[in-house]
Amino acid sequence: MQASRPLFIPVILGTTRQGRMSAHAAQLLVGEIGKRPSVDTELIDIAELPLTTRDAGESTKDADFSAKMNKADALVIVSPEYNHGYSGLLKHVLDSCLKEYIHKAVGIVGVSAGPFGGTRVIQNLLPVMRELGLVTIFWDVNFARVQNVFSADGKLLDETCLPRIDKFLKELLWMAKTLRQGREQIPLD
């Protein structure tokens, strides 16, 4: 294992909606990941990706997004709950890669205006993660009634989410390190 190479754990902001509160959750996660030693992160905003909507799947692949997925040791996906599901554009972006994700950890952050903190969107994302070859961790982060957690300009109003984020990231980092070691040292056959 190359202990000297930092883990790379980007945060994917999974909505393009104007005024999206999920952006504040994603920024908080980027900040919390950035506090961890030997971990690099960055925000990947799906609204900024130049993917065509005139095609689907790997033929839409963006070289920069693909390179980041290749480099990643784990992903955090921040997804709002839209009619109990995820944004179609998030799925469109995720579908543009495949081999890039294999045997990498993923943690999901659900964001909702309602009281359930995106639990339904998280459940709906789990089979998608599996099919992409990602390995889900068993902790999530749930931002319920997100309008009470962040101000409109992104100030964190309620810090009770922080211990949960800490637990989530500890597990994600453990999985990221373990899977990196497996990818680098254990042959598939």
Ligand X SMILES: Cc1cc2nc3c(=O)[nH]c(=O)nc-3n(C[C@H](O)[C@H](O)[C@H](O)COP(=O)(O)O)c2cc1C
Contacting positions for ligand X (CB under 6 A): 15, 17, 20-22, 80-84, 111-114, 146
Question: Which uninterrupted H or E stretch holds 115?
Answer: none
173: its two tokens: 């980092």
Closer residue to ligand X in complex, CB, 51/113: 113
Question: Which uninterrupted H or E stretch holds 165?
Answer: helix 162-185
Distance in Å, CB of 53 to ligand X, minimum: 17
Distance in Å, CB of 51 to ligand X, minimum: 19
CA distance 36 to 172: 12
Q: If 0-12 CB within 10 Å is exposed, 13-18 middle and 19+ buried, where does residue 133 land? A: middle
Distance in Å, CB of 76 to ligand X, minimum: 15
Closer residue to ligand X in complex, CB, 66/124: 124
Quick one: how far is CA 188 from the chain centroid? 26
Closer residue to ligand X in complex, CB, 57/154: 154
Distance in Å, CB of 157 to ligand X, minimum: 14
Classify 32 as helix, strand or coil. Answer: helix
Which one, of 146, 18, 127, 132, lies nearest residue 78 by Cα? 146
Q: Which residue is nearest to ligand X (CB)?
A: 114
Distance in Å, CB of 86 to ligand X, minimum: 11
Quick one: how far is CA 165 from the chain centroid? 13
Which one, of 137, 141, 139, 120, lies nearest residue 129 by Cα? 137
Closer residue to ligand X in complex, CB, 22/60: 22
Closer residue to ligand X in complex, CB, 39/77: 77
